[in-house]
Structure 1
């Protein structure tokens, strides 16, 4: 069974059902009622440095293409293989960006340097005076709530059962410690394996099984503009310092412009990061900073109305890698959480790898870097 009906949980349920496993998906709320519903829908390889997470992203990019073809996500979930454009404002930043892209290319990423005089061929409304950038054709975008709902529907078509509005209150374990299902406010569900796909609340589910997983919430705001003409912004465009913000361990506020259009017309503006617990208080200074940074990239947005802003919590783990795979501390418990801001993009690979673990197939990727018991005692205490 799978706990959590966000994007990762939906992908886990779909891949488990496709592997022939009897699957039950449980969530205390609706589909995409947590972090997924507050996401931008990023499917990125551009922000991943060479290493385990990039390998996961590249596998996921391939799987997203297959899911899109099988389930028509372009029509039902606004999947767009639009590509990404990362830009640098100065020469020093551009040199660092080009070095980063060169290392990514050695790991299989398509990363095409773009000189300053070539930026406007890709983005005609981009600001003048930028030093250059890198084009990432593999980056894509999806409407996350719609995509999660579509994957859940596909899992149900394969025989999976979904129980929404059902809160897990305990993880059932045998006297020798093996997991045998969950207790919910609507009764017990018995299963030989439980997948913790609870996202930002993954640490709480782990604790129900008697193990520690130091998942912390990292708050972010997103601005939504009024609908704009098609191709006002053609790619997912962000400033090069976004990569450093993603990798930062700081709890303090960090913002870096990320601008992207949606199929419906509005433009999404992010991204901010700060560790403030589950505080949902609206912060006008944060959204003002995001707006100013977006205007520095796209002056055309100056006279565009902002319709709303929303906030969500990314599931943060200390080393910025998700927990994926079986937990040796609780046989039968598997984790699929802690993806921070990359869960939408990494969901298909995570679900695929979890299904391989559940069926005894050797995973396509080495899961050692993602082991849920990898943290020290100090790290495991949020």
Structure 2
């Protein structure tokens, strides 16, 4: 039987997805005075957000629209951290090089990026426990880290407490869209229909599936990654986010096969997070000892001191991969009233505030503070 939420529950905007991108969208939409309902089939941060490291990076972005988005988001994260507690660490990132040729490539990229950075040939000044075999690196002071699950939860709670007009419906599956000749007028869910003036698809890795329910195509695919978590350390061994140049290459890769690179950082709780792997294997969550061993070997080669530290758990998640490595942000011209905020791959946590703010500006009929054409939802139609 079909039924409707009470009239008071008919929002201006429905956000599909309670990950960090959906939470940021709800926060900024509520700040703009809009009434918002967030719907998720699972709990808050139950998907990709809950399996992320919390990276807020500018260092791994090529010059262009994604770097511009990252710089805006970096500024917004810092502003939010001054008002909301979600374990924001402005620790900086160190990209290290094993050979002079790799160091030269890193220096060239940093110069093209045009962001604040320092080139060093003494990486031990930043990280005393690094292997002495490295020839140098580039330090990016803007690189930061948040606790992603806490960030999503705190953004939603802050939106409710400060602005009102935000409702959260977890355990509710979106099964279709309510469409009319004028476009979207709400969503059909496992708990009944919800009417609204606009719907934002912030479903992350499942953004393509949600788009299909509205009759449009977004080629978003899952890209699996594993993380190792060490026992809590009595004293911090690692001061910054540290990774090798191969990480930058892997982020930009189109390969379906397994790619790994050393990414190591500490957390506020004292544990050390070790990544990163990438492979397109659908939604297969089967643990891979091959991948986990490779990640451990790469991490201990970078930080030999970690050989005496125990791993206490591992987990995996799925990055929402787009073929051109750019997220999908903005109004969908194919279905009026439908907006997208998904496809960020491994950068969704870092890019969440900028994405949410830009969506809120569109939903409030304001001019967005960035050119959204590179992220337009219908750009993939040209490839068909």
Same fold (TM over 0.5): yes
Q: Is the 8 A contact 2:88 2:145 kept in 1?
A: yes
**After the TM superposition, which of the residue ranges 4-13 and 158-167 deviates more from structure 2?**
158-167
The Cα of 1:376 is off from its aligned counterpart by: 3.2
Tell me the SS of whatever aligns to 2:159. helix
- Cα deviation code 1:339-379 (max 9, x no counterpart): 00000000000000000010111111100000000013656
Match in the other structure for 2:359 = 354
The Cα of 1:228 is off from its aligned counterpart by: 1.2
- Give the whole-Å Cα distance in 2 for the aligned partners of 1:297 and 1:114: 17
Mapped pair 1:154 → 2:158 = yes
- Give the whole-Å Cα distance in 1 for the aligned partners of 2:77 and 2:375: 21
- 2:249 pairs with one of 240, 244, 249: 244
- The TM-score, its normalising length taken from structure 1, stands at 0.95
- 1:100 pairs with one of 91, 109, 113: 109
The Cα of 1:177 is off from its aligned counterpart by: 5.0
The equivalences for 1:326-341 within 5 A come to: 326-341=331-346
- Cα deviation code 1:75-119 (max 9, x no counterpart): xx22100000000000111111110011112xxx1111011xx21
Tell me the SS of whatever aligns to 2:313. strand
- 1:301 pairs with one of 303, 306, 313: 306
Tell me the SS of whatever aligns to 1:374. helix
Match in the other structure for 1:65 = 78
Q: Which runs of 5+ in 2 are unaligned?
A: 1-13
The Cα of 1:298 is off from its aligned counterpart by: 0.2
Q: Is the 8 A contact 1:104 1:111 kept in 2?
A: no
The Cα of 1:231 is off from its aligned counterpart by: 2.8
Mapped pair 1:36 → 2:45 = no
- Give the whole-Å Cα distance in 2 for the aligned partners of 1:102 and 1:251: 30
- Give the whole-Å Cα distance in 1 for the aligned partners of 2:245 and 2:209: 34
Instruction: Give the aligned length.
Output: 369
- Give the whole-Å Cα distance in 1 for the aligned partners of 2:224 and 2:274: 15
The Cα of 1:138 is off from its aligned counterpart by: 0.1
Tell me the SS of whatever aligns to 1:30. coil
- The TM-score, its normalising length taken from structure 2, stands at 0.95
Q: Is the 8 A contact 2:225 2:319 kept in 1?
A: yes
Please report the RMSD computed on the Cα atoms of aligned residues, expressed in angstroms: 0.9
Where has structure 1 moved over 4 Å in runs of 4 or more?
A: none
The Cα of 1:303 is off from its aligned counterpart by: 1.0
Match in the other structure for 1:17 = 30
- Give the whole-Å Cα distance in 1 for the aligned partners of 2:31 and 2:319: 28
Match in the other structure for 1:292 = 297
- Cα deviation code 1:304-327 (max 9, x no counterpart): 100011000000010000000000
Change (3 A) 1:252 1:177: farther
- Cα deviation code 1:117-155 (max 9, x no counterpart): x21111010110201000000000011001100001012
Match in the other structure for 1:213 = 218
- Cα deviation code 1:203-230 (max 9, x no counterpart): 0110011100011000000000011133
Match in the other structure for 1:198 = 203
- 2:323 pairs with one of 292, 301, 318: 318
- 1:54 pairs with one of 67, 71, 83: 67
Tell me the SS of whatever aligns to 1:29. coil
- Give the whole-Å Cα distance in 1 for the aligned partners of 2:216 and 2:382: 11
- Give the whole-Å Cα distance in 2 for the aligned partners of 1:254 and 1:378: 26
Mapped pair 1:376 → 2:344 = no
- Give the whole-Å Cα distance in 2 for the aligned partners of 1:87 and 1:242: 10
Q: Is the 8 A contact 1:49 1:104 kept in 2?
A: yes
Q: Is the 8 A contact 1:32 1:148 kept in 2?
A: yes
- Give the whole-Å Cα distance in 2 for the aligned partners of 1:214 and 1:130: 39
- Cα deviation code 1:221-275 (max 9, x no counterpart): 0000011133300000000110010000000100000000000011000000000
Match in the other structure for 1:185 = 190
Match in the other structure for 1:277 = 282
Q: Is the 8 A contact 1:156 1:162 kept in 2?
A: no
Q: Is the 8 A contact 2:236 2:270 kept in 1?
A: no
Q: Which runs of 5+ in 1 are unaligned?
A: none
